């Protein structure tokens, strides 16, 4: 039983395409990321975030300074979503607004890491040396910056969102679950409104190292996500981005005179054991679970990793014949934890601004976790 209708009343988007709904609609139709940096982290390209005037959403310079880039992106996008929903100055609304964040950890202090690794080479007792250096060299504020729930805290501080908050970690699947649980709690009459989303900074050597160790990164120039199936072509290109949505019960939005941009149907998720054709089988099951009919468009969270990207493309050709498929990676790059909220927000914008009746958003994690979000016209 789905319960109450859950509608999108606010959208906040930030990426290499810029900020806001219109910039991302234009990027969606262009089908090529607006910014690609192929030199800073060569041989790995990234899609860096467009320059932002942070003062517009984070007025205090002290707040800006104490946040790392990924937190600034998230707080900025959350502010855009609140503006879009018309509640930025509504203290009573924000006091009851619950918050769900999907995010990874913060950035490393590369100078400290380098000094410790250098010292370990000549340490008489490496274990004791490591413990001492970690206790003395890492500032408490740096340690706290690694906690993903600090993004939720900064949103509360900067924007006055003081309802309960919860944070999800776990790559692409955590974004799917953040959206799934936010939608379910509103639909089941537990809460009337929630702010859900997250942020990701791709311009970090440490995350590039982590993903390259797993063999997941694409090297060389940009190539469309579904065109990376050849030998040496597979892998994702990370993108710095943030996305937040204000979700409300339809009746709650109507009572305050808010425009419903789109409806978020119950989110379907899976965690299949990966193997030959498992991605296709999972997507087919999710398609049935979600009640998908015939989407006008498909926004795919495909990573470009083989062989799952090819499996997804073949499955979508069967499930949604004739529906145009656009890879989110061809719009903003791959933003890991926020694939689901970003895809859902972009789908809601297409429904609200371009008259789409139904949009499907897929989230097939590069290692694990599958999801499908059905976004439909409000009302």
In the chain, % helix, strand, coil (3-state, to 5) comes to: 45, 20, 40
What's the whole-number mean pLDDT along residues 180-186?
97
Write out pLDDT tens, residues 320-344.
Answer: 999 999 999 999 999 999 999 999 9
Neighbouring C-alpha atoms within 13 Å toward the C-beta of 61: 0
Question: pLDDT averaged over the chain?
Answer: 93
Q: How confident is the model at residue 1 (pLDDT cuts 50, 70, 90)?
A: very low
Cβ(223)–Cβ(229) under 8 Å? no
pLDDT value at 45 more than 70: yes
Token pair 């059905």 is found at: 374
d(CA 378, CA 111): 51
| Other CB atoms within 10 A of residue 91 CB | 9
pLDDT value at 139 more than 70: no
pTM above 0.75, yes or no: yes
Write out pLDDT tens, residues 263-279.
Answer: 999 999 999 999 888 99
What stretches of 217-324 adopt beta strand conformation (E)? 241-249, 262-264, 268-270, 297-300
Token pair 């950035």 is found at: 107
Q: Enumerate residues 6+ apart whose C-beta is below 8 A from 280.
A: 311, 312, 314, 315
pLDDT value at 305 more than 90: yes
Write out pLDDT tens, residues 77-100.
Answer: 999 999 999 999 999 999 999 999
pLDDT value at 353 more than 50: yes
What's the whole-number mean pLDDT along residues 293-312?
95
pLDDT value at 140 more than 60: no
d(CA 245, CA 206): 29
């Amino acid at each position: 039983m789905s319960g109450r209708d859950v509608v999108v009343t606010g959208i906040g988007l930030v990426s290499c395409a810029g900020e806001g709904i219109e910039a991302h609609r234009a990027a969606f139709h262009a089908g090529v990321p607006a910014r690609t940096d192929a030199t800073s982290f060569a041989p790995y390209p990234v899609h860096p975030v467009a320059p932002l005037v942070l003062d517009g959403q984070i007025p205090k310079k002290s707040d800006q300074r104490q946040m790392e880039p990924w937190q600034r992106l998230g707080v900025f996008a959350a502010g855009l979503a609140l503006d879009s929903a018309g509640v930025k100055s509504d203290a009573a609304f924000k006091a009851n607004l619950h918050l769900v964040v999907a995010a990874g950890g913060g950035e490393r202090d590369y100078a400290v890491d380098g000094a410790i690794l250098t010292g370990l080479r000549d340490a008489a007792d490496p274990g004791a040396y490591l413990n001492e250096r970690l206790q003395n060299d890492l500032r408490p504020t740096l340690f706290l910056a690694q906690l993903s729930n600090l993004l939720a805290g900064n949103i509360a501080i900067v924007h006055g969102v003081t309802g309960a908050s919860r944070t999800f970690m776990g790559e692409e699947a955590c974004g799917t679950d953040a959206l799934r649980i936010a939608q379910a709690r509103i639909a089941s009459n537990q809460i009337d409104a929630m702010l859900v989303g997250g942020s990701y900074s791709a311009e970090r050597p440490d995350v590039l190292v982590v993903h390259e160790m797993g063999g997941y990164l694409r090297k060389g120039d940009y190539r469309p996500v579904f065109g990376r199936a050849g030998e040496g072509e597979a892998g994702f290109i990370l993108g710095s981005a943030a996305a937040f949505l204000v979700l409300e019960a339809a009746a709650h939005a109507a009572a305050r005179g808010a425009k419903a941009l789109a409806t978020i149907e119950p989110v379907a998720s899976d965690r299949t054991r990966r193997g030959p054709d498992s991605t296709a089988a999972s997507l087919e099951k999710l398609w049935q679970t979600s009640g998908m009919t015939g989407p006008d468009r498909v926004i795919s969270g495909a990573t470009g990793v083989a062989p799952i990207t090819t499996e997804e493309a073949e499955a979508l050709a069967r499930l949604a014949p004739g529906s145009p498929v656009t890879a989110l990676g061809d719009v903003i790059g791959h933003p890991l934890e926020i694939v689901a909220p970003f895809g859902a927000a972009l789908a809601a914008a297409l429904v609200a601004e371009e008259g789409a009746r139904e949009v499907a958003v897929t989230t097939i994690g590069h290692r694990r976790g599958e999801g499908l979000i059905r976004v439909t016209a409000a009302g």
